[in-house]
Amino acid sequence: MDSIYQHFRPDEKEFIDQVLAWKQYVEDAYAPELTDFLDPRMQRIVNTVTGNHDAVSVRAFGGYRESERKRMLLFPDYFSPDEEDFHLALFEVHYPAKFVSFEHKHVLGSLMALGLKREKFGDILIGEGRIQFFAAAELSDFIQMEFRQIGKTPVTLTKMQLGEAIGQQQRWLEKQATVSSLRLDAILSAVYNISRQKTRMLIEHGLVKVNWKTVEDPAFQCGEGDTFSTRGYGRSRLIRVEGKTKKEKWRMVAGILK
């Protein structure tokens, strides 16, 4: 059991235990288990913990091909899942686009104000004056009844078919760099071409998230697949670590979301 935990960070132990419990349920009850919406880091943990297990398989779906946040279905060998088994709902928000504009944070803040956990909502899609979001289908009635405004602007909702989702083709610009260590401040300094002092200030002021969690320790050790969100600089990702140079520095490839 300890061998599973050693692949992840100490603060992820609670979620790993949850995944193990889901896996055990599927084995014991011989029935599928559906998760809430998980971020990519959580999805990676689920895939790693379940592994190539004959008795338990896993699939992920978030409503459209490029979705970032997805619900995951753990299921026994007899089960053949389809899209309906993920219980997803897609809503379009109608608002006076000629007079106001909203960013992702405005929509998410208003959804969270309903008193629901972040895990009950999937991706929020914004484009060409349109706003859509995915949610857990079991909460559809509640959301349609309670979601009435973004900020102070009144809005209405229409439930859509999943195939009507706004296309969100993300583009990641790859960047090769060499860093002295895999510390968070060193990674961000190389990715954004800013000084280590500047990155330390951003981190210590709570302006940096790693895998969707605020990290305030500049010495935080990063690993392949980590996603960073830095206030004022956007989102980036440590795609892979390619080993050390002769001078004992790390070669890495990062991605910057365009």
> Which pLDDT tens digit goes with each residue over 15-24?
999 999 999 9
- For residue 182, give the nearest of 194, 173, 191 by alpha carbon: 191
What is the model's pLDDT at position 23? 94
Q: Which two tokens stand for residue 181?
A: 């260590």
What is the model's pLDDT at position 104? 85
Regarding pTM above 0.75, the answer is yes
**187 neighbors 238 (Cβ within 8 angstroms):** yes
**73 neighbors 121 (Cβ within 8 angstroms):** no
SS3 label, residue 144:
helix
What is the model's pLDDT at position 2? 55
- The pLDDT tens digits for 188-227 are 999 999 999 999 999 999 999 998 889 999 999 999 889 9
The edge-to-edge listing of strands for the beta sheet with 33-38 is 33-38, 70-75, 57-61
CA geometry: angle at 211 spanning 218 and 127, to 5°?
A: 120
SS3 label, residue 169:
coil
What is the model's pLDDT at position 166? 87
Residues of the chain with pLDDT under 70: 1-2, 52-53, 168-170
What is the model's pLDDT at position 143? 97
